[in-house]
Structure 1
Amino acid sequence: MTTPFSGDRIILNDLGFYGYHGLFNEEAKLGQRFFIDLQCGVDLSAPGSTDEIGHTVSYADIYDVVKKTFETQRAKLIEALAQNICTALFEAFSDIDWVIVRVRKPEAPIAMVRGEAAIELHRVRPV
Protein backbone atom coordinates (compact mmCIF):
# COMPACT_ATOMS: atom_id res chain seq x y z
CA MET A 1 0.00 0.00 0.00
CA THR A 2 1.21 3.50 -0.82
CA THR A 3 1.48 6.34 1.63
CA PRO A 4 -2.04 7.67 2.18
CA PHE A 5 -3.08 10.42 -0.22
CA SER A 6 0.01 10.09 -2.43
CA GLY A 7 0.74 8.17 -5.60
CA ASP A 8 -1.62 7.16 -8.38
CA ARG A 9 -5.27 8.19 -8.26
CA ILE A 10 -8.49 8.14 -10.22
CA ILE A 11 -10.12 11.57 -10.20
CA LEU A 12 -13.74 12.50 -10.82
CA ASN A 13 -14.50 16.22 -10.44
CA ASP A 14 -17.59 18.36 -10.48
CA LEU A 15 -20.11 15.50 -10.41
CA GLY A 16 -23.49 17.20 -10.21
CA PHE A 17 -26.49 15.70 -8.42
CA TYR A 18 -29.88 16.91 -7.26
CA GLY A 19 -30.74 15.64 -3.81
CA TYR A 20 -32.70 16.04 -0.60
CA HIS A 21 -29.90 16.11 1.97
CA GLY A 22 -29.90 18.71 4.74
CA LEU A 23 -31.09 19.62 8.21
CA PHE A 24 -34.07 21.74 7.30
CA ASN A 25 -37.53 20.59 6.19
CA GLU A 26 -37.29 22.74 3.05
CA GLU A 27 -34.12 20.92 2.01
CA ALA A 28 -35.77 17.53 2.46
CA LYS A 29 -38.89 18.67 0.59
CA LEU A 30 -37.54 20.86 -2.22
CA GLY A 31 -34.03 19.50 -2.66
CA GLN A 32 -31.04 21.30 -4.11
CA ARG A 33 -27.90 20.88 -6.20
CA PHE A 34 -24.77 19.22 -4.87
CA PHE A 35 -21.36 18.80 -6.49
CA ILE A 36 -18.86 16.10 -5.60
CA ASP A 37 -15.11 15.99 -6.27
CA LEU A 38 -13.45 12.65 -5.72
CA GLN A 39 -9.97 11.15 -5.69
CA CYS A 40 -9.42 7.42 -5.21
CA GLY A 41 -5.95 6.06 -4.50
CA VAL A 42 -5.42 3.12 -6.83
CA ASP A 43 -2.20 1.60 -8.17
CA LEU A 44 -2.43 2.39 -11.88
CA SER A 45 0.88 0.85 -12.98
CA ALA A 46 -0.72 -2.33 -14.44
CA PRO A 47 -3.31 -0.55 -16.60
CA GLY A 48 -0.68 2.01 -17.59
CA SER A 49 1.58 -0.68 -18.98
CA THR A 50 -1.02 -3.14 -20.35
CA ASP A 51 -3.69 -0.73 -21.65
CA GLU A 52 -6.30 -3.25 -20.42
CA ILE A 53 -9.49 -2.21 -18.55
CA GLY A 54 -9.38 -5.42 -16.51
CA HIS A 55 -6.30 -4.12 -14.68
CA THR A 56 -7.92 -1.04 -13.18
CA VAL A 57 -10.99 0.26 -11.41
CA SER A 58 -13.42 1.72 -13.93
CA TYR A 59 -14.20 5.37 -13.26
CA ALA A 60 -17.67 4.67 -14.69
CA ASP A 61 -18.19 2.04 -11.97
CA ILE A 62 -16.93 4.48 -9.32
CA TYR A 63 -19.44 7.04 -10.58
CA ASP A 64 -22.26 4.49 -10.37
CA VAL A 65 -21.43 3.75 -6.70
CA VAL A 66 -21.31 7.46 -5.85
CA LYS A 67 -24.62 8.11 -7.64
CA LYS A 68 -26.37 5.17 -5.97
CA THR A 69 -25.09 6.19 -2.52
CA PHE A 70 -26.09 9.82 -3.09
CA GLU A 71 -29.58 8.88 -4.21
CA THR A 72 -30.40 6.14 -1.68
CA GLN A 73 -28.82 7.26 1.61
CA ARG A 74 -30.32 10.58 2.72
CA ALA A 75 -28.16 12.51 5.18
CA LYS A 76 -28.77 15.58 7.31
CA LEU A 77 -25.11 16.60 7.14
CA ILE A 78 -22.86 16.72 4.10
CA GLU A 79 -20.16 15.20 6.33
CA ALA A 80 -22.32 12.08 6.71
CA LEU A 81 -23.05 12.06 2.98
CA ALA A 82 -19.32 12.13 2.23
CA GLN A 83 -18.64 9.37 4.77
CA ASN A 84 -21.37 7.22 3.19
CA ILE A 85 -19.66 7.65 -0.18
CA CYS A 86 -16.25 6.67 1.23
CA THR A 87 -17.69 3.59 2.92
CA ALA A 88 -19.51 2.50 -0.23
CA LEU A 89 -16.38 2.90 -2.36
CA PHE A 90 -14.25 0.83 0.03
CA GLU A 91 -16.93 -1.86 0.09
CA ALA A 92 -17.28 -1.94 -3.70
CA PHE A 93 -13.60 -1.78 -4.75
CA SER A 94 -10.88 -3.67 -2.93
CA ASP A 95 -8.20 -1.91 -5.03
CA ILE A 96 -9.01 1.53 -3.60
CA ASP A 97 -6.53 2.29 -0.78
CA TRP A 98 -7.73 5.78 0.12
CA VAL A 99 -10.40 8.32 -0.81
CA ILE A 100 -10.58 12.10 -0.76
CA VAL A 101 -14.14 13.33 -1.26
CA ARG A 102 -15.35 16.93 -1.31
CA VAL A 103 -19.08 17.65 -1.17
CA ARG A 104 -20.06 21.15 -2.29
CA LYS A 105 -23.44 22.70 -1.58
CA PRO A 106 -23.88 25.92 -3.59
CA GLU A 107 -27.37 26.69 -2.25
CA ALA A 108 -26.58 26.16 1.43
CA PRO A 109 -29.16 27.96 3.59
CA ILE A 110 -26.86 30.84 4.54
CA ALA A 111 -26.98 34.43 3.35
CA MET A 112 -24.20 34.42 0.79
CA VAL A 113 -24.34 36.23 -2.51
CA ARG A 114 -21.79 34.00 -4.17
CA GLY A 115 -19.87 30.85 -3.30
CA GLU A 116 -20.69 27.54 -1.72
CA ALA A 117 -20.38 25.61 1.50
CA ALA A 118 -18.23 22.50 1.28
CA ILE A 119 -16.51 19.81 3.31
CA GLU A 120 -13.69 17.46 2.43
CA LEU A 121 -12.96 14.06 3.97
CA HIS A 122 -9.70 12.12 3.70
CA ARG A 123 -10.17 8.41 4.45
CA VAL A 124 -7.84 5.43 4.34
CA ARG A 125 -9.21 1.91 3.84
CA PRO A 126 -10.04 0.49 7.28
CA VAL A 127 -7.88 -2.44 8.34
Structure 2
Amino acid sequence: MDAIHLQDLAFYAFHGVHEEEARLGQRFVVDLTCRLDLTAPSLSDRYEETVCYATLTRTIEKVVTGSRYKLIERLAGAIADAVLDAEERIQGVSVRVHKPGAPLPIAAGRVSVEITRTRAPS
Protein backbone atom coordinates (compact mmCIF):
# COMPACT_ATOMS: atom_id res chain seq x y z
CA MET A 1 0.00 0.00 0.00
CA ASP A 2 1.22 3.49 -0.83
CA ALA A 3 1.68 6.18 1.80
CA ILE A 4 1.52 9.90 2.42
CA HIS A 5 3.65 11.13 5.33
CA LEU A 6 3.28 14.36 7.29
CA GLN A 7 6.04 14.85 9.85
CA ASP A 8 6.97 17.24 12.62
CA LEU A 9 3.62 19.07 12.74
CA ALA A 10 3.92 21.18 15.90
CA PHE A 11 0.96 22.45 17.95
CA TYR A 12 0.57 24.18 21.28
CA ALA A 13 -2.06 22.53 23.46
CA PHE A 14 -3.07 21.65 27.03
CA HIS A 15 -2.97 17.86 27.28
CA GLY A 16 -1.63 15.99 30.27
CA VAL A 17 -2.45 14.41 33.60
CA HIS A 18 -0.95 17.17 35.76
CA GLU A 19 -2.74 20.41 36.58
CA GLU A 20 0.28 22.45 35.44
CA GLU A 21 0.00 20.91 31.97
CA ALA A 22 -3.66 21.91 31.75
CA ARG A 23 -2.90 25.43 32.96
CA LEU A 24 0.35 26.20 31.14
CA GLY A 25 0.14 24.02 28.05
CA GLN A 26 3.06 22.79 25.98
CA ARG A 27 4.16 21.82 22.50
CA PHE A 28 3.10 18.55 20.89
CA VAL A 29 4.54 17.18 17.67
CA VAL A 30 2.57 14.86 15.38
CA ASP A 31 3.76 12.53 12.62
CA LEU A 32 1.11 11.00 10.38
CA THR A 33 1.33 8.20 7.82
CA CYS A 34 -1.73 7.60 5.67
CA ARG A 35 -2.01 4.31 3.78
CA LEU A 36 -3.93 4.47 0.51
CA ASP A 37 -3.74 3.61 -3.16
CA LEU A 38 -1.91 6.40 -4.99
CA THR A 39 -1.93 4.72 -8.39
CA ALA A 40 -4.37 7.15 -9.99
CA PRO A 41 -2.63 10.41 -9.00
CA SER A 42 0.81 8.92 -9.70
CA LEU A 43 -0.28 8.32 -13.30
CA SER A 44 -2.58 11.29 -13.97
CA ASP A 45 -0.81 14.10 -12.06
CA ARG A 46 -4.28 15.37 -11.09
CA TYR A 47 -4.62 17.08 -7.71
CA GLU A 48 -8.23 15.97 -7.18
CA GLU A 49 -7.15 12.31 -7.25
CA THR A 50 -5.02 12.56 -4.14
CA VAL A 51 -5.52 13.63 -0.55
CA CYS A 52 -4.97 17.29 0.33
CA TYR A 53 -2.07 17.66 2.77
CA ALA A 54 -3.43 20.99 4.06
CA THR A 55 -6.78 19.37 4.86
CA LEU A 56 -5.03 16.59 6.75
CA THR A 57 -3.04 19.18 8.70
CA ARG A 58 -6.18 21.15 9.59
CA THR A 59 -7.90 17.93 10.69
CA ILE A 60 -5.02 17.14 13.05
CA GLU A 61 -4.86 20.72 14.32
CA LYS A 62 -8.58 20.70 15.16
CA VAL A 63 -8.17 17.55 17.27
CA VAL A 64 -4.96 18.64 19.00
CA THR A 65 -6.08 22.17 19.85
CA GLY A 66 -9.85 21.66 20.09
CA SER A 67 -10.08 19.19 22.96
CA ARG A 68 -8.12 18.32 26.09
CA TYR A 69 -6.92 14.82 26.84
CA LYS A 70 -5.03 13.49 29.83
CA LEU A 71 -3.13 10.88 27.80
CA ILE A 72 -1.27 11.24 24.52
CA GLU A 73 -2.49 7.72 23.78
CA ARG A 74 -6.04 9.12 23.68
CA LEU A 75 -4.91 12.12 21.63
CA ALA A 76 -3.28 9.83 19.05
CA GLY A 77 -6.44 7.71 18.86
CA ALA A 78 -8.61 10.79 18.36
CA ILE A 79 -6.35 11.99 15.55
CA ALA A 80 -6.47 8.58 13.84
CA ASP A 81 -10.27 8.50 14.06
CA ALA A 82 -10.61 12.04 12.71
CA VAL A 83 -8.32 11.38 9.74
CA LEU A 84 -10.19 8.20 8.80
CA ASP A 85 -13.50 10.04 9.12
CA ALA A 86 -12.28 12.99 7.05
CA GLU A 87 -11.01 11.08 4.00
CA GLU A 88 -12.58 7.85 2.76
CA ARG A 89 -9.67 7.09 0.41
CA ILE A 90 -7.38 6.53 3.38
CA GLN A 91 -7.39 2.84 4.34
CA GLY A 92 -5.09 3.06 7.33
CA VAL A 93 -3.23 5.56 9.47
CA SER A 94 -0.31 5.59 11.85
CA VAL A 95 -0.14 8.52 14.23
CA ARG A 96 2.84 9.32 16.40
CA VAL A 97 2.42 11.99 19.06
CA HIS A 98 5.59 13.37 20.63
CA LYS A 99 5.45 15.16 23.95
CA PRO A 100 8.81 16.95 24.17
CA GLY A 101 8.04 18.41 27.60
CA ALA A 102 6.81 15.24 29.25
CA PRO A 103 7.51 15.32 32.99
CA LEU A 104 10.20 12.67 33.38
CA PRO A 105 12.19 12.03 36.57
CA ILE A 106 15.51 12.46 34.72
CA ALA A 107 17.34 15.37 33.10
CA ALA A 108 16.70 14.43 29.47
CA GLY A 109 14.59 12.10 27.40
CA ARG A 110 11.78 11.94 24.86
CA VAL A 111 8.31 10.46 24.98
CA SER A 112 6.06 9.51 22.07
CA VAL A 113 3.14 7.21 21.40
CA GLU A 114 2.29 5.58 18.08
CA ILE A 115 -1.13 4.22 17.17
CA THR A 116 -2.09 2.44 13.95
CA ARG A 117 -5.67 2.09 12.82
CA THR A 118 -7.25 0.65 9.69
CA ARG A 119 -10.62 1.26 8.17
CA ALA A 120 -13.19 -1.37 9.04
CA PRO A 121 -14.24 -3.42 6.00
CA SER A 122 -17.57 -2.28 4.63
Deviations 1:34-72 (A, max 9, x none): 111110001111111111111011111111100111111
**Cα displacement (A) at 1:113:** 2.4
Matched length: 121
* Structure 1 CA distance for aligned equivalents of residues 38 and 74 of structure 2: 29
Deviations 1:74-113 (A, max 9, x none): 1110000000001111111000100000000011011232
Tell me the amino acid that sits aligned with residue 58 of structure 2: D
State the TM-score, normalizing by the size of structure 2. 0.95
Of 71, 74, 88 in structure 1, the residue corresponding to residue 68 of structure 2 is: 74
Secondary structure (helix, strand or coil) at the match of 1:87 reads helix
1:59 maps to 2:53: yes
Of 89, 108, 111 in structure 2, the residue corresponding to residue 95 of structure 1 is: 89
CA RMSD of aligned residues (A): 0.9
Aligned match of 2:37: 43
Q: How much identity, in percent, do the aligned residues show? A: 44
Deviating runs (4+, > 4 A) in structure 1?
Answer: none
Q: Which runs of 5+ in 2 are unaligned?
A: none
* Structure 2 CA distance for aligned equivalents of residues 112 and 11 of structure 1: 32
